[in-house]
Chain A
Amino acid sequence: MKILVCISKTPETTAKIAFKDGNTAYDESGVQFIMNPYDEWYALVRAVELKEANGGTVTVINVGPATNDVVIRKALAIGADDAIRVDAEPTSAMFVAQQIAAQASGFDLVMTGKETIDYNGSEVGAMVAELLEVPYVSYATAIDMSGNTATVTREIEGGNEVSEVTTPLVISAAKGMAEQRIPNMRGIMMAKRKPLNVVAAAGGDNLVKVAAFALPADKAGVKMIDPDNMDELVRLLQEEAKVL
């Protein structure tokens, strides 16, 4: 089985959020970038586990500039066999999905994280599935393969649903799918020699753009309550905050 894992590069979770160019662009200066945790911890690790259990290959794909290669090498160190980097700025979810779909022919299973931790769009997986005209199971917390049949558990409101789908298909991976893997030295050394194929963008659409970013307003300040007077806290929640 051939698995394609879509990986994004995101600011690390403690990165300072600031903007430039009149609040129209994210200020990347001094920011550490990482592989999007949902892509890495869940989609990629589970893909590698499926390969280890059933055979096959795992390819990672990223849409981005050459500076993303460090993130791609980490994916190879975790256990992907090879990588594709589409050499273009990932300007919108639709554009990224079009690039991935253009490279996805021949793959049985395409995996993404449930969303990225920067723009929180949750769009690319569904778009890739529609472009490829294949089934899509989102927010999957488990996947097992038997031949070309996948048994997938997905989160739904207040519970989960188990379904069977035959490949090709696209899934987005959520927490529970796998455990984070730290690449070992052997993996890191091997990653340097694994193929990383850089391809040109296939054209694409940018139908949305950020007109302006803003930071949320600061809190007015915390009001400390006497631990022996919870009646006062309840009163404030009812009468001042009006939330109870």
Chain B
Amino acid sequence: MVLVYAESHEGKFKKAALEAVAYGNETAKVLGTECAAVVIGDANEAGTLGQYGASAVHHISSDNLAHFDSQTYAAALSGAATALGAKVVILAHNSAGKSLAGRIAVKLSAGCVTAANAVPTNDGAFKVKKNVFAGKAVADYQIDSDVKVLTLSGNSIKPEVVGADITVSPLSVDVPASKIKVISTNKQQGDTAPLPEAELVVSAGRGMKDPGNWGIIEDLANAIGATTACSRPVADIGWRPHHEHVGQTGVAIKPNLYIAAGISGAIQHLAGVNSSKCIVVINKDPEAPFFKAADYGVCADLFDVVPKLTEAIKKAKAKTIY
């Protein structure tokens, strides 16, 4: 059986959780088995996971799981995997999944591959692909252990409705008390997707000349509902927050659309974004290396082009609405 941890936030399942369930279902098909989901905390909407391919949903409830702690959550999830006889445990490759995968792998003596980006194959050996060298290469990993742990890279699979709501069954596992005391949780304002999950990203770099000029980038991002990002130099000099830095030493992303304005495209930057499905580069330097990695290029002053692009998008959107 394939067991997926479907992470919920205040009872809601975000895209990463639905992707994990859809991926679990595809993995289960490859192995000729079924996919079950496990939910921690508020389970009011957990039955909807059946729509995305879960054939069973298990709910773990414990006061010791009131806040996220990789130690207690790993105990709960590996306990569930053992109780249910799971052979593959799947997590999202996000902050929770990344801190859990290694722990669960140790608990279950499992081989672990993080940031998998394709459905595994099982022709004689269990293999799964992931990007390595920050996206400059792909590695096909073979896992030889009986139990396997995978985390799924965001935007690797499209969750689709393939079934119906199912009943949620309680699951009792031993969970130790947490040794971590959460003092505060600070969420930034705004309802755009966090960078690793974002399908549309608008990014800018040193070509912006001044942090006060970012308004045109935000306008473009708002027009299409994109998340904003930046290159390393502008994060380093404090023009933009660190969490916006995409590239080899920042966040690696793979959105459907990546629009880069005023970024020359150093190899370290390309490494973090070259898995994007479509790249648009706006740069006034025709020699900018980024053009070689782009699908569409506009060679012009970004201060001229970006507002024009925003207007063109607004015009096109108005057409589709009316």
A interface, CB within 8 angstroms of B? 11, 13-14, 17, 19, 37-38, 93-94, 97, 117-127, 129-131, 134-139, 141, 151, 154-166, 172, 175-176, 205, 207-216, 219-220, 222-225, 227-228, 230-231, 233-238, 241, 243-244
Q: Do residues B106 and A97 form an inter-chain contact, with CB atoms below 8 A?
A: yes
B257 interface neighbour in A162, A224, A244, Cβ under 8 Å: A244
Docked pose: A156 CA to B186 CA in angstroms:
9
Q: Do residues B103 and A127 form an inter-chain contact, with CB atoms below 8 A?
A: yes
- CB within 8 Å of A: which B227-278 residues: 235, 242-243, 245, 248-250, 252, 256-257, 267-268, 271, 274-275, 277-278
Docked pose: A154 CA to B304 CA in angstroms:
39
A-B pairs with CB below 8 Å: how many? 267
Q: Do residues B137 and A216 form an inter-chain contact, with CB atoms below 8 A?
A: yes
Q: Is the interface of B mostly helix, strand, loop or mixed?
A: mixed
Q: Is the interface of A mostly helix, strand, loop or mixed?
A: mixed
Q: Do residues B145 and A233 form an inter-chain contact, with CB atoms below 8 A?
A: no
Q: Do residues A238 and B134 form an inter-chain contact, with CB atoms below 8 A?
A: no
The distance from the CB of A91 to the nearest CB of chain B, in whole angstroms, is 12
Residues of chain A within 8 A of B100, CB atoms compared = 126
B181 interface neighbour in A13, A123, A165, A224, Cβ under 8 Å: A165
A117 interface neighbour in B115, B248, B299, Cβ under 8 Å: B248
Contact with A along B269-304 (1 / 0, CB 8 A): 001001101101100000000011111111110001
Q: Is there a chain A Cβ closer than 8 Å to B135's Cβ?
A: yes
Known: A135-B179, A227-B305. A244 touches B111 (CB 8 A): no
Q: Do residues B296 and A233 form an inter-chain contact, with CB atoms below 8 A?
A: yes
Q: Do residues A163 and B180 form an inter-chain contact, with CB atoms below 8 A?
A: yes
Docked pose: A157 CA to B196 CA in angstroms:
8
The distance from the CB of B4 to the nearest CB of chain A, in whole angstroms, is 18
Known: A93-B112, A141-B242, A213-B137. A175 touches B297 (CB 8 A): no
Q: Do residues A123 and B141 form an inter-chain contact, with CB atoms below 8 A?
A: no
Known: A126-B103, A216-B135, A241-B295. A13 touches B71 (CB 8 A): no
Residues of chain A within 8 A of B271, CB atoms compared = 13
The distance from the CB of A200 to the nearest CB of chain B, in whole angstroms, is 22
Q: Do residues A120 and B99 form an inter-chain contact, with CB atoms below 8 A?
A: no
Q: Do residues B187 and A126 form an inter-chain contact, with CB atoms below 8 A?
A: no
Q: Which of B28-36, B159-167, B311-319 contacts A (4 or more CB under 8 A)?
A: B311-319
Docked pose: A212 CA to B115 CA in angstroms:
16
Q: Is there a chain A Cβ closer than 8 Å to B74's Cβ?
A: yes
Q: Do residues B112 and A216 form an inter-chain contact, with CB atoms below 8 A?
A: no
Q: Is there a chain A Cβ closer than 8 Å to B308's Cβ?
A: yes
Q: Do residues A126 and B99 form an inter-chain contact, with CB atoms below 8 A?
A: yes
A17 interface neighbour in B136, B197, B224, Cβ under 8 Å: B136
Q: Do residues A126 and B183 form an inter-chain contact, with CB atoms below 8 A?
A: no
Residues of chain A within 8 A of B109, CB atoms compared = 205, 207
The distance from the CB of B30 to the nearest CB of chain A, in whole angstroms, is 16
Q: Do residues B180 and A157 form an inter-chain contact, with CB atoms below 8 A?
A: no
Residues of chain A within 8 A of B203, CB atoms compared = none
Question: Besides the contacts A37-B249, A215-B138, A231-B315, what 7 more A-B pairs have beta carbons closer than 8 Å?
Answer: A127-B103, A157-B196, A157-B197, A207-B110, A207-B111, A241-B257, A244-B313
